[in-house]
Amino acid sequence: MTAKPMIGADILVESLVRHGVEVVFAYPGGASMPIHQALTRYRQKIRTVLPRHEQGGGFMAHGYARSIGRVGVCMATSGPGATNFVTCLADAKMDSVPVIAITGQVSTPVIGTDAFQETPIVETCRAITKHHYLIQRTEDITRIMNEAFHVATTGRPGPIIIDVPKDVQLKSVVPDFDAPMNLPGYRPYRRATRAELQRVLEAIRKSRKPIIYGGGGLVLSGASAVLREFATRCSIPVALTVHGLGAFPADHYLCLHMLGMHGTVYANYAINEADLLLALGVRFDDRVTGKLSEFAKHGRIVHIDIDPSELNKNKVADVAIFGDVKDALIDLNSMLSEPENADLTSGGRYAEWFAQIDEWREKEPLTYEDRDDAILPQYAIQRLHQILKQRGRLEQTIITTGVGQHQMWAAQYFPFNQPRHWITSGGLGTMGFGLPAALGAQVAHPLKTVIDIDGDGSFLMNIQELACAHTEKLPVKILLLNNQHLGMVVQWEDRFFEGNRAHTYLGAGLDREPYPDFVTIARGFKVAARQIHEKADLDSALEEMLDAQEPYLLDVLVPYQEHVLPMIPSGMTVRDIIKR
């Protein structure tokens, strides 16, 4: 305990430093000014990145956290500044992202009086955060900060909101940075028992058609290496959710790539026919399961997850294990080395199963009908991947996306062999996510290539962050697949509403000229930009984009008639899959 008094704002920032925070994404306002003044006093220890909208700052914190595996910190003022974090916090809750949002609040004497820029942000965010605090005493700041970092990063990660009244920021007290936490009943960690894991091995022993259904929990727990060991030793194929991509190498024979609504046909067929589903770090999301009663109905289910509330929530498991998935796989790998389990790693156990999977892979690969007269989005993504591979940059590239067709095409046609190289909004599906998330990832990894694959509708929602890219000298690249439409909604209109267009055209006028002029907008922000529409220009444009030492926008005009396929319609089953 130090004998030196400090004001609350300095105590808060000093707490951030002591928790290893190196950067905050913060937009100032009246109720948070003392914190920002404190940040200027700590500028040698903490970098403050100024977004151009609080939501942009929140998603920068997402990109930072998900790319580096540490807490992302964002700040805003009270009222509208705080409410602009709501979508970011809901997104972080759905996708298990450790984000701490710090908001200024009106002084404690006027809380509840509808004071200027007052909102009850803790009440507003109660259901969309893992935990929440309204600090009412300056003396409590250190304890609350200790608790916030602990809760955000342990168990199933998630967002925390800390609301700090202005008078609490200004009051001077002697801080205790070692203040003990007060979290009765919070026990986020459990290691699966040997008896529980023995049931898993017995299920594998009885299986003839097993499959691993792997999710984002594998990435969050750092389980990629042990998953690969487990899957290869047991010769079990792996299908991944959109957040699981990269947890198992896409170029591995056992990888069936993404499953679910826009997953590969062979992954969905395998899930449907498997007699054992090993569900690791997943939550049986409806975009994966479709009609829940029909999902994986032919086999037994083993479900391992760090969040006990997910067990038996959507799908009842035959073996439900509350525990850290990395440690469970470590222990399973150890058990596989025991003589009595040697049969589980013997070759050829699943020869018939793999013969069937290989037949599906050969007959139903991911494919599209390429064209010479236009740049198809799938082709543009494939060429980006191939050029990066030729340059030897794949392992040094992070991809973010907005939400829509471009997101699913990126998941399908840009394979990932490593975790934390793929950052997208999954559970909430938030348009406008891609650019700010890319900026956050670039801050975390200044020497890596960070590319936002985006769509014009999604990109427009946080386009103002081009200013942040320029002023902060963050050389992110934006591959904008511009079809002038809300592409995914258009696809649903075509498939289920007889092609009736209900406000999904984003252009202007009858001439169908590209609108807006993204190149002019980007250059107005002093960001380099180029537009192309000829297929012959694509490679040179991609090379130019990748060579740029500054932020760069490549506006690629693509046809709006393309659909993301395959597709299992919402609430339907594998039998209803649309392939063409």
Q: Which residue numbers are catalytic?
A: 54, 116-117, 166, 488
**Does residue 402 fall inside a structural domain?**
yes
Domain interval for residue 522: 377-557
* C-alpha dist (Å) from residue 403 to 172, 370, 380: 45, 23, 17
**CATH value at residue 228:** 3.40.50.1220
Same domain, 350 and 291: yes
- 35 near 104, Cβ under 8 Å? yes
**Does residue 180 fall inside a structural domain?**
no
Q: Quick one: tokens of 140?
A: 């409590």
> Phi first, then psi: what are they for 182, rounded to 5°?
-125, 80
Between CA 132 and CA 142, with CA 137 as vertex, the angle to 5 degrees is 70
Same domain, 411 and 553: yes
The C-alpha atoms of residue 67 and residue 50 are separated, in whole angstroms, by 19
**Does residue 178 fall inside a structural domain?**
no
CA dihedral 163, 165, 169, 175 (to 10 degrees): -60
Ranges of residues in the chain with a pLDDT under 50 are 1
Same domain, 428 and 536: yes
| Number of domains composing the chain | 3
Look at residue 36 in the predicted model and tell me its pLDDT. 98
DSSP string computed for 144-172: HHHHHHHHHHSSS---EEEEEEHHHHH-E
**Does residue 186 fall inside a structural domain?**
no
**Does residue 184 fall inside a structural domain?**
no
Q: Quick one: tokens of 127?
A: 């259901």
pTM confidence score: 0.97
Looking at 173, 207, 229, the residue that finishes a domain is 173
Same domain, 52 and 161: yes
Same domain, 529 and 436: yes
Same domain, 322 and 436: no
Same domain, 155 and 207: no
**Does residue 185 fall inside a structural domain?**
no
Cβ-count burial 501-516 (b if 16+ within 10 Å, e if not): eeebebbeeeeeebee
Same domain, 352 and 211: yes
**Does residue 335 fall inside a structural domain?**
yes
Look at residue 1 in the predicted model and tell me its pLDDT. 46
Looking at 328, 363, 398, the residue that finishes a domain is 363
The C-alpha atoms of residue 383 and residue 404 are separated, in whole angstroms, by 20
Same domain, 388 and 359: no
Q: Quick one: tokens of 511?
A: 């001439």
**Does residue 108 fall inside a structural domain?**
yes
Same domain, 343 and 395: no
**CATH value at residue 134:** 3.40.50.970
Same domain, 420 and 354: no
* C-alpha dist (Å) from residue 405 to 11, 201, 263, 410, 482: 45, 39, 13, 9, 11
- 315 near 294, Cβ under 8 Å? no
Same domain, 539 and 396: yes
The C-alpha atoms of residue 354 and residue 235 are separated, in whole angstroms, by 9
Looking at 173, 208, 241, the residue that finishes a domain is 173
Look at residue 511 in the predicted model and tell me its pLDDT. 65
